[in-house]
């Protein structure tokens, strides 16, 4: 059971309206947001940050942002966020070959060098202690401009918050997220863990 039970989507109409963003992203309002709405200002601020971070300003696609979120969540071990990230990547048009081989992004031909640099950065930046080094910075800068690097790190940082929130809260995972995770992640050992 989660540490704190999520409220009904109807509990706060202002948060509900803001959270409609997630109907596009995931097809449902996440239980994490329904828990945050116990303090509506937290839910509202989080939704605003999520929208700002996930909006596209350069060539970091919506699908790649969600794959970055998956790598970051995988490094942190948050199964809830792994499932959400892979679902959102699927809904935002990541090609099925990439989704089916996300575990092998470093070597699989479905990923190009720019994507590998972004995903390696996500992995290194999500570790404790932080593993970003000069060589990785150079690789990232060879493929992405400063604005795009800010977007990439914005995704990693947003999911750092979500990974801690959902793993500490033990947030219950929704059926749609389970469906996508089972489709793409279970072959490599993904399961719901504490997120029942």
pLDDT digits (tens, 9 = 90+) for 88-141: 999 999 999 999 999 999 999 999 999 999 999 999 999 999 999 999 999 999
Query: Would you state the structure tokens that stand for residue 67, as one six-digit string?
Result: 């794959």
CATH of residue 136: 1.20.1290.10
Instruction: Report yes or no: 81 and 112 within 8 Å, Cβ to Cβ.
Output: no
Residues 51 and 10: their CA atoms lie apart, in Å, by: 21
Domain membership of residue 3 (yes or no) is no
Domain membership of residue 195 (yes or no) is no
Domain membership of residue 31 (yes or no) is no
Q: What are phi and psi of 145, to 5 degrees?
A: -85, 175
Domain membership of residue 170 (yes or no) is yes
What is the predicted pLDDT for the residue at 196? 87
Range of the domain at 72: 59-188
pTM of the model: 0.95
What is the total count of domains within the chain?
Answer: 1
pLDDT digits (tens, 9 = 90+) for 130-189: 999 999 999 999 999 999 999 999 999 999 999 999 999 999 999 999 999 999 999 999
Domain membership of residue 30 (yes or no) is no
- Is the pLDDT reported for residue 57 higher than 90? no
Residues 108 and 30: their CA atoms lie apart, in Å, by: 31
Domain membership of residue 90 (yes or no) is yes
- Would you put residue 62 in left (φ > 0), alpha (ψ -120 to 50) or beta? alpha
CA contacts within 13 A on the Cβ side of 36: 21
pLDDT band per the 50, 70, 90 thresholds, residue 1: confident
């Amino acid at each position: 059971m989660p540490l704190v039970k999520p409220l009904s989507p109807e509990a706060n109409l202002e948060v509900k309206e803001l959270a409609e963003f997630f109907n596009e992203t995931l097809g449902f309002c996440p239980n994490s947001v329904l828990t945050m709405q116990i303090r509506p200002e937290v839910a509202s601020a989080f939704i605003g940050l999520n929208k700002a971070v996930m909006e596209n300003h350069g060539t970091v696609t919506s699908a790649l942002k969600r794959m970055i979120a998956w790598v970051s969540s995988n490094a942190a071990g948050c199964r809830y966020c792994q499932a959400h990230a892979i679902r959102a990547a699927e809904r935002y048009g990541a090609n099925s070959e990439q989704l089916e081989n996300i575990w092998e992004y470093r070597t699989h031909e479905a990923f190009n060098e720019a994507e590998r640099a972004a995903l390696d950065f996500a992995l290194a930046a999500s570790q404790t202690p932080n593993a970003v080094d000069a060589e990785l910075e150079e690789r990232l800068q060879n493929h992405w401009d400063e604005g795009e690097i800010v977007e990439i790190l914005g995704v990693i940082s947003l999911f750092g918050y979500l990974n801690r929130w959902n793993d500490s809260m033990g947030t219950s995972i929704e059926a749609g997220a389970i469906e996508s995770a089972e489709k793409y992640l279970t072959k490599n050992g993904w399961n719901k863990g504490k997120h029942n």
